[in-house]
Amino acid sequence: MAEAEKKGKFARLKKWFREMKSELKKVVWPSGKQVLNNSLVVVACVVIVGLIVGLLDFGAGELLSLFLKLF
């Protein structure tokens, strides 16, 4: 019984890899230029959002500091 179960699991795993390989052949991979361009856009967005969050954090800290000095 255990042998049949192992063979069934192995067959399913083998089928899964075969189907995965078949699906990966259908994928249209981006060119190197597209990957570079998209990566630069992501890095630029991260830097911009980081600067905005940093400025808001600095402003909130200064505002809180001034508020605490009043009391």
> Mind listing the pLDDT tens digit for each residue in 2-58?
565 667 778 899 999 999 999 999 999 999 999 999 999 999 999 999 999 999 999
The domain tally of the chain equals 1
What does the pLDDT read at residue 1?
47
Alpha-carbon dihedral sign for residues 13, 14, 19, 20: positive
Q: Rounded to 5, what percent of the chain is helix, strand, coil?
A: 90, 0, 10
Residue with tokens 């083998």, as numbered in its chain: 14
Structural domain containing residue 30: 2-70
